[in-house]
Structure 1
């Protein structure tokens, strides 16, 4: 994080690495889901067993639920900080 101070104002600027990490974090789950759907379609077409695809579908659902909880928690922490600040 780059910190720039001007007068009484402090500005926090993310570094390029932090921007990349945030972009990856924000889109990784969607990319994995897209890849999973494509592979599952290939597996169905090839008549391969669906057990592993179903297990990964359950894992993706759990990851989505965890991510939703994390976003809600983060939002509640932000609103509680602004309310008390």
Structure 2
């Protein structure tokens, strides 16, 4: 994270590596969801048991919850950091 301070304001800028990692993570999650949907349709069409598909869906739901929580925490930290710098 690159931190830039100017005139009492603090700006948090993701480094190029952090941006790249975020893009890759998001893209990978979308690809996995797409693959899961396609495999699920095939399994349903063939009448295969959906135990593994359901387990994967639970894992993806957990990942989404954790990602949402991380975004919430980051937003809270950014907001508290802005409040702190404005008062100084």
Scaled by the length of structure 2, the TM-score of the pair is 0.72
Q: What is the CA–CA distance in structure 1 between the aligned matches of 2:26 and 2:52, rounded to whole Å?
A: 25
Counterpart of 1:7 in structure 2 is none
Answer yes or no: is 1:30 the counterpart of 2:30.
Answer: yes
**Which segments of structure 1 move beyond 3 Å, counting only runs of 4 or more?**
12-15
Counterpart of 1:45 in structure 2 is 45
Q: What is the CA–CA distance in structure 2 between the aligned matches of 1:79 and 1:36, rounded to whole Å?
A: 36
RMSD: 2.1
Question: Displacement of 1:45 after TM fit?
Answer: 1.0
Aligned pair count reads: 74
Counterpart of 2:72 in structure 1 is 72
Where do 5+ consecutive residues of structure 2 fail to align?
3-12
Where do 5+ consecutive residues of structure 1 fail to align?
3-11
